[in-house]
Chain A
Amino acid sequence: MKQLLLTALVAACALSAMSADARVIHRERSLYSTILVDQRGSLICLQFSIRRDQRNQSCIDKRHPQEMVFTYTRMMMAGLLLNPDPERVLILGLGGGTLPMALAELYPDAKIDVVEIDPAVVTVAREFFDFEPTENMQVFTQDARVYTKRAGLRGETYDLIMLDAFNGDYIPEHLMTREYLEETQKLMAENAVVVANTFSISQLYHHESTTYQAVFGTFFNLTSAASANRIILASNMAAPSRSVLEQRAKALAPRLRKYSVQPEEYPRAMITKPDWDTSARVLTDQYSPANLLRGR
């Protein structure tokens, strides 16, 4: 309960940081977006839009730099419940670098590859968000689809793949198709898990769900009342039972505490039953109007 209150408090801080009295400390027009870094007290946040009312993409509390400020970032760590010991990690979309830094710390021996399309985001993450690639970490400034295709040709595999590329105003539609997910599937080691931070509202929810289902079959859906995001957790293995998930959550909990991640909350929130329109058309390279569907 105390943890819950603390989380709520952190979330409240994050929300209040979006108000107008936050001070802009860096503004930059990159090739892909407008990058805005603002500060309010010890909280520094990254946004990819000129509109100040846009939700923040990534925040760091300078007093507790390891803490994951956002619900969705914490929820993505639920991927560890499906594979608690990843040796090779692929992260698509850098943001402030919260996920790669946390995973590098949790798994110092893991090889972590980060793909970020915008070189300016990499610079900003290093300058303002304490992002610093470790010895086992490589950052590729590249389109995620191109990286995935090439890595597939090279025969590379990963145990944990985190897709966190849907943050800007424009959804990269080629990262949401059946063909893309099939290419991602090729990168998955036997016990690998894909964790995707995606959308919980609009028509897109249904289309995206049927697309993931077409490729992975049953997957876990993790949503939260505190966030407009939903996290998809997909793997090629049979889904572990609730009790297995709970055991793993319990084992992981102490190590995740300092990131304010409470994995015990996730097993009961991870749902496999479809709550979407299963007749929604699957998104393909031929048919992928994600941005138009989001507006509906």
Chain B
Amino acid sequence: MSMIIYPLAFVGGFVIMSLELLGGRVLAPYFGSSIYVWGSIITIFMLSLSLGYLFGGQLSLRRPSLKRFGIIFLVAAVTLYPLVYLSEPAMVWIFARIEDPRYGSLLASAVLFIVPTVILGMISPYSVRLLVETTERAGHVAGRLYFMSTLGSALGTLATSFYFVLWFEMNTILVLLTGALVAMGMIALIAHSATATR
């Protein structure tokens, strides 16, 4: 089980920060690269993650399984992919209605990033639930999971800002992130059916 969940948590963390970094580039053509654009993005990501933690923990109370864990990844992928098509029209719409780039960028980040980031935030608490078997090992397991997902976040940030933006278009990166989430979701589902049939 842990052989699967740690890598999945890693990918979850990777995608979150890669997406956050892309967020700044998505917004820049409409709202600039002023300090408040980054302020908006970070605010929305933190807010979404906090909600995701809450919902993920809540979800883990009801019959936790690898299958449901995998479904979180697939739902995240499904909510992430539309950004490829929706970012432009959404920002055009907001730009035309909100003059102040502070609130414009805040609303744009909310519209574009809240849903996928809330879902991605659910991964961490849910993986803790799947891995913790005894109370005395709970902290140990949680620590390792935070390690993996935050390490993923660090590498997601680095890879995106140093290399991905140099190699790929933004939409290509979004597709790759979606693909990674789908792959992780499928792995979880396959592992679930494998353990169920054994």
Contact B33–A143 (Cβ < 8 Å): yes
Q: Of residues 10 to 52 in B, which have CB atoms within 8 Å of A's CB atoms?
A: 25, 28-35
For the complex, give the distance between the alpha carbons of A142 and B31 in Å: 10
Could you tell me the distance in whole angstroms from the C-beta of B112 to the nearest C-beta in chain A?
A: 15
Chain B residue nearest in CB terms to A145:
B32
Which residues of the other chain, A, contact B101 by a CB distance below 8 angstroms?
142-143, 146
For the complex, give the distance between the alpha carbons of A144 and B34 in Å: 10
Q: With A286-B170, A287-B170 in contact, do A292 and B165 touch (Cβ < 8 Å)?
A: yes
Chain B residue nearest in CB terms to A144:
B32
B61 within 8 A of A: no
Mark A264-296 against chain B: 1 for CB-CB distance below 8 A, else 0: 000000000000000000001111110011000
Total A-B Cβ pairs within 8 A: 58
A173 within 8 A of B: yes
Contact A117–B32 (Cβ < 8 Å): yes
Which residues of the other chain, A, contact B103 by a CB distance below 8 angstroms?
none
- Which of A117, A143, A177, A284 has its CB near the most chain B CB atoms (within 10 A)? A143
Contact A177–B34 (Cβ < 8 Å): no
Contact B166–A289 (Cβ < 8 Å): yes
Q: With A287-B170, A292-B166 in contact, do A172 and B33 touch (Cβ < 8 Å)?
A: yes
Could you tell me the distance in whole angstroms from the C-beta of B137 to the nearest C-beta in chain A?
A: 44
Q: With A145-B28, A288-B25, A292-B166 in contact, do A174 and B33 touch (Cβ < 8 Å)?
A: yes
Q: Of residues 115 to 137 in A, which have CB atoms within 8 Å of B's CB atoms?
A: 117
For the complex, give the distance between the alpha carbons of A145 and B31 in Å: 8
Q: Of residues 115 to 162 in B, which have CB atoms within 8 Å of A's CB atoms?
A: 162
A149 within 8 A of B: yes
Could you tell me the distance in whole angstroms from the C-beta of A243 to the nearest C-beta in chain B?
A: 41
For the complex, give the distance between the alpha carbons of A145 and B25 in Å: 13
A153 within 8 A of B: yes
For this complex, 5 residue pairs linking A to B, each with C-beta atoms less than 8 Å apart, are: A144-B32, A146-B101, A174-B32, A180-B29, A286-B169
8 A-B pairs closest in CB distance: A143-B32, A174-B28, A286-B169, A289-B166, A146-B32, A289-B165, A292-B166, A286-B170
For the A-B complex with A286-B170, A287-B169, A292-B165 known, give 8 more contacts whose Cβ atoms are closer than 8 Å. A143-B31, A143-B32, A149-B30, A172-B33, A173-B28, A288-B25, A289-B165, A292-B166
